[in-house]
Amino acid sequence: MWGGEVSPLNKEDVGIRKEKFNTLWTLLKAKDSLMFQRSRVKWLKEGDSNTRFFHNCMKARKIGNAVRALGT
């Protein structure tokens, strides 16, 4: 048993869980890509002088928005 589950998962539940994890990873990759694109847009608009500031802002935002656990 994993993660505090009371009984083992049947094949259907395992398939559903795999689908959800795949969807989650796809969304996380898309989010990372979007964040990278946003940082580039800011860099192009506002120049190179504040690159460290914007990088730290995006890093803090990413940490704050991270998925810590999945609930089913």
Give the tens place of pLDDT for each residue, 4-45: 567 788 899 899 999 999 999 999 999 999 999 988 888 778
Model confidence band, residue 57 (pLDDT cutoffs 50, 70, 90) = confident
**How much is the pLDDT for 19?**
94
First to last CA, the chain: 15
Q: Greatest CA span in the chain, whole angstroms?
A: 56
Is pLDDT of 1 > 70?
Answer: no
Quote the pTM value: 0.49
**How much is the pLDDT for 22?**
95
- Cα 44 to Cα 53: distance, rounded to the nearest angstrom: 14
CA atoms within 13 Å, Cβ hemisphere of 54: 17
